[in-house]
Structure 1
Amino acid sequence: MNVVQEAITWLNDPLNWSGPGGIWALTREHLLMTLAAVLLASVVAIPLGIWLGHSHRLQRGAAAVIVVANTTRALPTLAIIIILATAGLFGDTATVIAAAVFALPVLLSTTFTGVRGVDPAVTDAARGMGMGGGRVVGRVELPLAVPYLAAGLRTTIVQVVATIPLAALAGGGGLGQIISLGFGTQRYGQVLAGGVIVAVLCLLVDGVLALVQRAVTPASVRAESRAAARAV
């Protein structure tokens, strides 16, 4: 029996889908870890991106922050997990923190770009109507930046879903346990099955988020994007 046949056999076994260590339970744990990592990154990245994008006087400082944040993408997530493990943080906690560090630059860059990209004439008109800085952000800049925020969240969440399997290397949960156990027992059909499950989960999450992104993107913006695509 080759690896593909072993993977199909493993996926067709009902015992691998049920129970606390089954696919459904591990998928739920996987998604909860993803949610925790994205929320942790969002708490830092989105407010900072809004502030930097809104503060036009801090152009040099904002550029420096974005560059520094993007350099963290060069750090392998596995290396961060190992560093945290040596500091005494194992399992899900280490993976969530590492995934949040991985997710932060994307969220920061897209939030900053979305807010900074708002037409200055629009914000000037809002200030001319007597709006303060907070109201300009909440009523003008953020609504117009929503498509960028949605795109950034979509990209970030899918990337984190694909990264969370590394948790198994630090004693954590999620779908990575299937792959790790397969390598440990030299059942490479199980390894392939685990990889297929993670890939399918990424595609499903991306599909759902694509619908959400389309729903929150104004029709005029979608029309401009299609026109630009045709021109290219």
Structure 2
Amino acid sequence: MNPLEQAFAWVNDPLNWTNPGGILDRLGEHLVISVAAVAIGCLVAWPLGLWLGHARRGGGLVVVLSNISLAIPVIALLTILPLTFLGFGRAPVIVALAVFAVPPLLATAHTGVLQADPEARDAALGMGLSSGQVLRRVELPLAVPYLAAGFRTAAVQVVATAALASFVNGGGLGQIISAGFGLGMAVGGGQILAGGVLVALLALLADLLLAAGERAVTPRPLRRARRGQAGRA
């Protein structure tokens, strides 16, 4: 059989789904790693981005932090972090992917607050709201569509990149691919292809679901404005 036929046969074998270390187990590990990494990225990036946007400063800092995060390859972090107190396993993978998730989360949080209607902000201040109340009650709700867009980008990137967890025995769908390489291309070619397709399908599914969520939290006037900008582009 060619690799495509091998992949089809491998995916359709029920034992490859239900056995320990099978698709279901690896899928659960992949989701745990991805959710944890994106959650940590949100906890770090969103408060910082929202505060800098509210203060109307730090644009250069946001760019620098984003560029630094993007400049460090995930594979490099996965090589370095296991040599620290984190050791091998899920912990270094989650930290590395959280660093990878920070740039889109940070940039969109900062931009979202900056794009808030200045008249609404001034009106809130004129009504006697404190700076913190303006951020919570005015700027943050207006920034939600931007936060959703950044979350979608970060989540899809993390889901797709989490396959690298297999390099440090971190689990996930990447273990299926690495196990296939261990068997050699002649025997494990179909397993390698199947693992790659599973990762791609999971990333695509995450993108579709989060796109629906992003649309749901984006007001209709803003949707039309974005479509108009896309059309002009």
- What is the TM-score when the length of structure 1 is the normalising length? 0.95
Rounded to whole Å, the distance in 1 between the matches of 2:82 and 2:153 is 27
Unaligned runs of 5+ in 2: none
| Per-residue CA distance 1:57-78 (angstroms, 9 max, x = gap) | xx2x441243133222111101
Alignment of 1:49-198 (within 5 A): 49-56=49-56, 59=57, 61-88=58-85, 89-186=87-184, 187-198=188-199
Residue identity opposite 2:129 in structure 1: M
**Residue in structure 1 matched with residue 212 of structure 2 by the alignment:** 211
The answer to whether the 8 Å contact 2:62/2:106 transfers is: no
Residue identity opposite 1:228 in structure 2: Q
**Residue in structure 2 matched with residue 46 of structure 1 by the alignment:** 46
Rounded to whole Å, the distance in 2 between the matches of 1:68 and 1:33 is 23
Which ranges of 4 or more aligned residues in structure 1 deviate by more than 3 Å?
A: none
**Residue in structure 2 matched with residue 25 of structure 1 by the alignment:** 25
Rounded to whole Å, the distance in 2 between the matches of 1:221 and 1:69 is 26
The answer to whether the 8 Å contact 2:152/2:207 transfers is: yes
Alpha-carbon offset, residue 167 of structure 1: 0.8
Residues 158 and 2 of structure 1, relative CA distance in 2, 3 Å threshold? same
**Residue in structure 1 matched with residue 8 of structure 2 by the alignment:** 8
Rounded to whole Å, the distance in 1 between the matches of 2:95 and 2:111 is 25
Alpha-carbon offset, residue 13 of structure 1: 0.7
| Identity over aligned pairs, percent | 53
Residues 231 and 62 of structure 1, relative CA distance in 2, 3 Å threshold? closer
The more displaced of 63-72 and 198-207 is 63-72
Name the count of aligned residue pairs.
Answer: 229
Rounded to whole Å, the distance in 2 between the matches of 1:165 and 1:225 is 33
**Alignment of 1:225 onto 2:226:** yes
Rounded to whole Å, the distance in 2 between the matches of 1:64 and 1:134 is 21
| Per-residue CA distance 1:208-230 (angstroms, 9 max, x = gap) | 11111111111111121122223
Rounded to whole Å, the distance in 2 between the matches of 1:129 and 1:135 is 11
The answer to whether the 8 Å contact 1:66/1:108 transfers is: no
- What is the TM-score when the length of structure 2 is the normalising length? 0.94
Residue identity opposite 1:125 in structure 2: A
